[in-house]
Structure 1
Amino acid sequence: MVPVLGVIFSTGAVPFNGPSLVPFAGIIIGGAMNAHSLAGRRAFAALRDDHATYEAARSVGLVRSDAIAEIVHHLLPEALVPGLDQTRTVGLVTLPGALVGVMLGGGTAIQAGAAQVLVLIGLLAAQTITVAVADRLIRAGRLLPPDLAAALRP
């Protein structure tokens, strides 16, 4: 969230004040939290279910992070699907919140559209960064529940 909000506010695309910060930060934080919880749930469930695969990978000489990656690397991109689906349907099926908010606040249609595009790009960027960081932390064993930390010992 910090890199995305930093870019949004440092470029001057959105003024750095309370009425701008609260909705943009709230939307970006909410999207990042959603992606993080989906990534964690999928990864932890896979690590619990495929413990034999982890042990097999370790037995052929893979280090802990590579053995974990063998199990979770193909699952983590699924955490980005809700954000991609939302981006695909905005304006066609749903009325996006940023667009409506800017219009109700007295902005022009161009300003509303620009705000919505900025929100969607920011959401996708924040979710992608969040899932990539979660992947690194899970592989390093720093973001594992206690039962998995004990079961996937180095």
Structure 2
Amino acid sequence: MSHDTGLGLAAVVVLPLLVVLAVVASRLASLRHSKGIVTAALRATVQLAVVGAIVGFALQSIWGTLGFILVMMTVATITSARRIRHVAVVPGQYAHCAVAIGGGAAVVLLILILPGVVPRNPESILPMGGIIVGGAMNATTLAGRRLMAEYGNRFGEFEAGLSIGLMPPDAFRLVAGPVAGDALLPALDQTRTVGLVTLPGAFVGMVLGGASPTAAAALQLVVLIGLLAAGSLAILITTELLARSPLPDGRTVSS
């Protein structure tokens, strides 16, 4: 049996079974994500099929690559803002997420691309852009949700801070700011355990493609440190923008 045939069998049989397993686990644990799991799996299938066709065009020029990264940032912004709005509706949330994700990702990508750490060609820039944008999106989403939930849970302390003369941004940072760091835990754990618990995709892909383990490890290190930097910047920007926003009544915030 060829490799392609085996992959086709997995797509037809194994992947639906994994979706069913995830749904059953979600229901047993009352996670309320059963529908979301199915929807995400279906969307991923369709989106990857479409993206597979579009990427070929994006890789034909640097402008096509940059345009595709901009699309990534747009989708990431919408996704992150919607997730945060499930906890609390903050004016300008979409703009906040765009700045946090775009700012964090852009700074890191420029630092990697301009000196040539990542080769300045579409084949290298596009996948690196997708990885870094995705990391910034995850950090923004987790930070935004965690910050607003903590603000709601400790709204009494926020009001107490205002009563003793603190400005709203300072009171927000005091009661909610310390939890923003939780959003960096996934990236930190991934970096700390790389090679011991996980063998990330960039490393495995390069080794399977014939690169030396040393070269693969160097690239993976760039990816992991880049994700930490982009995530940290995104969390910082998210915290500062929320602190300076007209915040909703904390009693209306979902925990």
| TM exceeding 0.5 | yes
Q: Does 1:131 align with 2:235?
A: yes
Match runs of 1:102-117 below 5 Å: 102-117=206-221
Q: How many angstroms apart in 1 are the aligned matches of 2:226 and 2:196? A: 20
CA distance in structure 2 between the partners assigned to 1:55 and 1:12 by the alignment: 50
Runs (4 or more) in structure 1 with deviation over 3 Å come to: none
Two-structure CA RMSD over aligned residues (Å): 1.4
Q: How far did 1:104 drift?
A: 2.8
Residue of structure 2 equivalent to 1:59: 163
| Match 1:39 to one of 137, 143, 166 | 143
Q: How far apart are residue 11 of structure 1 and its match?
A: 1.1
Runs (5+) with no aligned partner, structure 2: 1-104, 251-255
What is residue 115 of structure 2 aligned with on the other side? 11
| Pair 1:140 & 2:244 matched | yes
Give the AA of the match of 1:53: E
Count, aligned residues: 146
Shift of 1:102: 1.8
Q: Distance in 2 between matches of 1:67 and 1:94?
A: 40
Give the aligned partner of residue 78 of structure 1.
Answer: 182
Q: CA deviation at 1:47?
A: 1.2
Deviation at 1:151, TM superposition (A): 2.3
Distance 2:166 2:184 in 1: 28
Query: Distance in 2 between the 1:120 and 1:69 partners?
Result: 28
Once residues 59 and 13 of structure 1 are traced to their aligned partners in structure 2, the CA distance between those partners, rounded to angstroms, is 51
1:21-40 mapped onto 2 (5 Å cutoff):
21-40=125-144
* Partner SS state of residue 22, structure 1: helix
1:73 is paired with a residue whose SS is helix
Aligned partner of 2:172 in structure 1 is 68
Q: Show CA shifts across 1:105-131 (max 9, x none).
A: 332222111100100110100001111
Higher relative contact order (CA 8 A, sep 6+): 1
Q: Bigger CA drift: 14-23 or 113-122? A: 14-23
State how far apart, in whole Å, the 2-side matches of 1:112 and 1:136 are: 36
5+ long unaligned stretches in structure 1: 143-148
Provide TM-score, normalisation by structure 1. 0.89
Q: Find the aligned partners of 1:38 and 1:8 in 2 and give their Cα distance.
A: 25
CA distance in 1, matches of 2:209, 2:189: 27
Q: What CA deviation, in whole Å up to 9, does each residue of 1:70-96 have, x standing for no partner?
A: 111210111111110011111111111
Aligned to 1:145: none
Q: Which one of the candidate residues 188, 198, 202 is aligned to 1:98? A: 202
| 3-state SS in 2 of match to 1:13 | coil
Deviation at 1:34, TM superposition (A): 0.9
Q: 1-side partners of 2:226 and 2:157: how far apart?
A: 36
Question: Does 2:224 match 1:120?
Answer: yes
